[in-house]
């Protein structure tokens, strides 16, 4: 992306390229296109074309425990903002008391809540929207685990480190891959379904395994192409049936509570139904709020759900939790590029894992489709920027060759890529006859809050799990490791929180930590007029202060 480009141009709108009709003709003439390797070294490709490396994309933090670290300017503005609350706002607020508070009702939050409750803890699970409204349900491709006879924990470990450019915390990666096989068994016991391999003319009892991008073995397990939705279905049902868990839907967190020892002591929630603050006091708090896609970094569309506004990062950072790799975000290679109203919707990596090719406007394959996601995304952006992309109605992208996939594997679109067919119907195309137009979309937050192998942060009483955390993925996440992460570290954080809650509880709970934060902002000349967390994207036209006034 050149310095002269606007974010929108970087996201895939280009002035030059190959008209759609001409590109279709070139694709038909070449199909199936011959493989062609990259003529740029991976690091050179990333440096020139990945959005994280665009000039001006990152700024350094001025305040807080991670001052000096670089992150996107839009995120830095939230991390260095003032709180939404004053002490007076919580005076007399109704409250809930629990052993463990879980903030976030996606996959990581549900796994943590189940684990803590089954360990005997009284659990309060608070969600911004409704239970299950999360990025988890949008994870289509699958979940990795080394369960095949030709695979090993060591191979999964090495693949993960290599895909993350060797920036990951090795202890976290070891925990992830070591717990992987048992995490799959746990999900099956919870009622999750997986695709089975075909043995002769019938489906057998062996889990179907596919090779994900960046992997050296076939270890991707899936359910059709809506694995995350199936996982979330099983978890949601388990949470609703589990004694000891109280669910608070539509209760976004506005601030963490602290006690007189600097421990995290719960959170202040906003009851959207009543427009008022409510306190959730707890001996241990698990942050499982997900990522930051709805900030639309670098002007890109996003695959993320409506509530992914970096709230957990903001609140944990203000309380003193360190952050890492916040200058690294994942752009999923195959977001919808046309029609414009479907920007951000994903064509699952399951399509590329099954053999779908990426083809430019000249009918050429230009990258190994099963390279790590950052490499594939940068390669697509290169084709667009250098004029080899496909143009249609002002939108730019490349082709995902689903017709050739269907011809080589008859019935795959109807049988295994169900979500893809639904997307095609919404786009008004027949994927067995016409390729999708795709380009990268903002997908995942590679970095986040630093944790240990039990999900604990350096702030006593505060634990984290899922996409809000950092250290596991390094500078690029492997497909399928996100769903595994939420199970492995949700279980670890839930067990650790339950054990911690039995040892000691909070005392003299309030917002004392905000005084130090506000002094730090003033000392660095930062305005106190900017408030965070965002809670909902600006186009949601939601304001906490106005909501409180409405209820008063």
Looking at residue 259, which CATH number applies to its domain? Answer: 3.50.50.60
Same domain, 165 and 274: yes
Stated as kind and residue range, the H or E segment containing 498 is helix 481-503
> Where does the pLDDT of residue 543 fall: very low under 50, low under 70, confident under 90, or very high at 90 and above?
confident
Question: How does pLDDT run across 171-183, given as a tens digit for each residue?
Answer: 999 999 999 999 9
pLDDT value of residue 9: 46
Q: How many other C-beta atoms are found inside a 10 Å radius of the C-beta of residue 249?
A: 16
376 domain residue, yes or no: yes
Structural domain harbouring 372: 7-54+332-443
Mean pLDDT (whole number) for 142-164 = 97
DSSP letters along 458-478, please? SSTTEEE-GGGEESSSTTSPP
- Taken in order 346, 348, 349, 353, the sign of the CA dihedral is negative
**pLDDT > 70: percent of the chain:** 95
Same domain, 392 and 483: no
Same domain, 257 and 364: no
494 domain residue, yes or no: yes
pTM of the full predicted structure?
Answer: 0.94
323 domain residue, yes or no: yes
Same domain, 410 and 457: no
Same domain, 176 and 296: yes
Phi, psi of 176, rounded to the nearest 5 degrees: -60, -55
- Residue showing tokens 């949008």: 138
497 domain residue, yes or no: yes
Phi, psi of 205, rounded to the nearest 5 degrees: -105, 10
Same domain, 368 and 417: yes
Closest CA to 322 of 447, 124, 457, 212: 457
Same domain, 287 and 338: no
DSSP letters along 116-137, please? HHHTT--EEEE-SSSTT-SGGG
| The pLDDT of residue 395 is above 70 | yes
pLDDT value of residue 108: 98
Tokens (6 digits) for 108: 């990581």
pLDDT value of residue 213: 86
Query: Are β-strands 448-450 and 70-72 bridged in parallel, bridged antiparallel, or unpaired?
Result: unpaired
| The pLDDT of residue 48 is above 70 | yes
Q: Name, in order, each residue with C-beta under 8 angstroms of 278's C-beta and a sequence gap of 6 or more.
A: 93, 94, 95, 96, 251, 268, 269, 270, 271
- Residue showing tokens 């952006």: 381
Among the residue ranges 17-31, 199-213, 444-458, 476-490, the one predicted with the least confidence is 199-213
Same domain, 19 and 34: yes
Same domain, 458 and 433: no
Q: Which of 426, 443, 460 is the last residue of a domain?
A: 443
368 domain residue, yes or no: yes
| The pLDDT of residue 403 is above 50 | yes
Sequence-ordered alpha helix ranges (H) in 206-331: 227-241, 311-318
Same domain, 143 and 164: yes
Among the residue ranges 9-18, 176-185, 373-382, the one predicted with the least confidence is 9-18
The answer to whether the CB of 385 falls within 8 A of the CB of 14 is yes
Same domain, 406 and 360: yes
Mean pLDDT of the chain: 93
225 domain residue, yes or no: no
Q: Name, in order, each residue with C-beta under 8 angstroms of 447's C-beta and a sequence gap of 6 or more.
A: 323, 324, 325, 326, 327, 328, 470, 471, 473
Query: Are β-strands 276-287 and 462-464 bridged in parallel, bridged antiparallel, or unpaired?
Result: parallel
Question: How does pLDDT run across 282-308, given as a tens digit for each residue?
Answer: 999 999 999 999 999 999 999 999 999
Which residues face 82 on adjacent strands?
531
pLDDT value of residue 291: 96
512 domain residue, yes or no: no
Q: What DSSP character marks residue 394?
A: T
Q: Which of 418, 443, 468 is the last residue of a domain?
A: 443
Does residue 533 have a cis peptide bond before it, meaning omega lies within 30 degrees of 0?
yes
The total number of structural domains in the chain stands at: 2
- Residue showing tokens 């600006």: 538
Straight-line distance from the first to the last Cα atom of the chain, in angstroms, rounded to the nearest whole number: 49
Same domain, 367 and 422: yes
Q: Which of 484, 503, 522 is the last residue of a domain?
A: 503
Catalytic pick among 373, 392, 475, 492: 373
67 domain residue, yes or no: no
Query: Are β-strands 469-470 and 448-450 bridged in parallel, bridged antiparallel, or unpaired?
Result: parallel
User: CATH number for the domain including 390?
Assistant: 3.90.700.10
Does residue 373 have an active-site annotation? yes
Sequence-ordered alpha helix ranges (H) in 50-169: 73-79, 87-90, 107-118, 153-163
The answer to whether the CB of 211 falls within 8 A of the CB of 355 is no
Cα–Cα distance, 548 to 274 (Å, whole number): 8
Mean pLDDT (whole number) for 457-486 = 97
């Amino acid at each position: 992306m050149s310095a002269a480009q606007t974010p929108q141009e970087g996201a895939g709108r280009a002035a030059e390229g190959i008209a759609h009709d001409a590109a279709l003709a070139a694709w038909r003439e070449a199909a199936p296109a011959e493989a062609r390797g990259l003529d740029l070294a991976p690091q050179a490709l990333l440096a020139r074309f990945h959005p994280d490396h665009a000039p001006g994309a990152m700024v350094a933090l001025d305040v807080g425990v991670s001052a000096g670290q670089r992150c996107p300017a839009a995120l830095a503005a939230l991390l260095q903002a003032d709180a939404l609350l004053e002490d007076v706002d919580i005076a007399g607020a109704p409250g809930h008391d629990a052993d463990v508070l879980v903030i976030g009702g996606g996959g990581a939050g549900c796994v943590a809540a189940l684990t803590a409750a089954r360990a005997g803890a009284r659990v309060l699970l608070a969600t911004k929207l409704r239970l299950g409204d999360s990025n988890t349900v949008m994870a289509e491709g699958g979940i990795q685990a080394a369960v095949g006879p030709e695979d090993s924990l060591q191979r999964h470990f090495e693949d993960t480190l290599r895909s993350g450019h060797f920036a990951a915390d090795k202890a976290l990666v070891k925990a992830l891959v070591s717990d992987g096989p048992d995490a799959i068994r746990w999900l099956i016991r919870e009622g999750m379904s997986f695709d089975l391999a075909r043995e002769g003319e019938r489906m057998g009892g062996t889990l179907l395994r596919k090779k994900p991008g960046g992997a050296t073995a076939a270890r991707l397990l899936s359910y059709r192409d809506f694995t995350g939705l199936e996982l979330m279905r099983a978890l949601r049902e388990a949470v609703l049936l589990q004694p000891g868990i109280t669910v608070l839907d539509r209760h976004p967190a506005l601030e963490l509570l602290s006690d007189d020892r600097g421990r995290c002591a719960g959170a202040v929630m906003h009851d959207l139904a009543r427009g008022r603050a409510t306190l959730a006091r707890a001996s241990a708090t698990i942050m499982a709020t997900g990522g930051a896609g709805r900030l639309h970094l670098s002007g890109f569309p996003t695959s993320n759900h409506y509530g992914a506004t970096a709230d957990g990062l903001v609140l944990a950072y203000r309380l003193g939790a360190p952050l890492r790799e916040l200058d690294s975000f994942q752009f999923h290679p195959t977001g919808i590029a046309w029609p414009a109203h479907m920007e951000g919707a994903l064509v699952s990596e399951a399509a590329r894992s099954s053999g779908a090719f990426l083809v430019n406007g000249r009918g050429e394959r230009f990258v190994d489709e099963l390279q790590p996601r950052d490499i594939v995304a940068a390669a697509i952006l290169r084709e667009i920027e250098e004029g080899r992309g496909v143009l249609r109605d002002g939108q730019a992208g490349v082709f995902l060759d689903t017709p050739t996939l269907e011809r080589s594997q008859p019935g795959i679109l109807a049988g295994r890529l169900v979500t893809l067919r639904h997307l095609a119907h919404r786009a008004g195309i027949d994927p067995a006859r016409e390729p999708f137009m795709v380009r990268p979309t903002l997908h995942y937050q590679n970095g986040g809050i630093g944790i240990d192998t039990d999900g604990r942060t350096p702030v006593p009483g505060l634990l984290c799990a899922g996409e809000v955390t950092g250290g596991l993925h390094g500078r690029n996440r492997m497909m399928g490791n996100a769903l595994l992460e939420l199970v492995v570290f949700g279980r670890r954080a839930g067990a650790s929180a339950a054990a911690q809650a039995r040892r000691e509880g909070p005392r003299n709970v309030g917002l004392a930590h905000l005084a130090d934060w506000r002094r730090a902002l003033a000392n660095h000349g930062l305005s106190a007029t900017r408030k965070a967390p965002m809670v909902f994207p600006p186009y949601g036209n939601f304001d906490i202060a106005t909501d409180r006034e409405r209820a008063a």
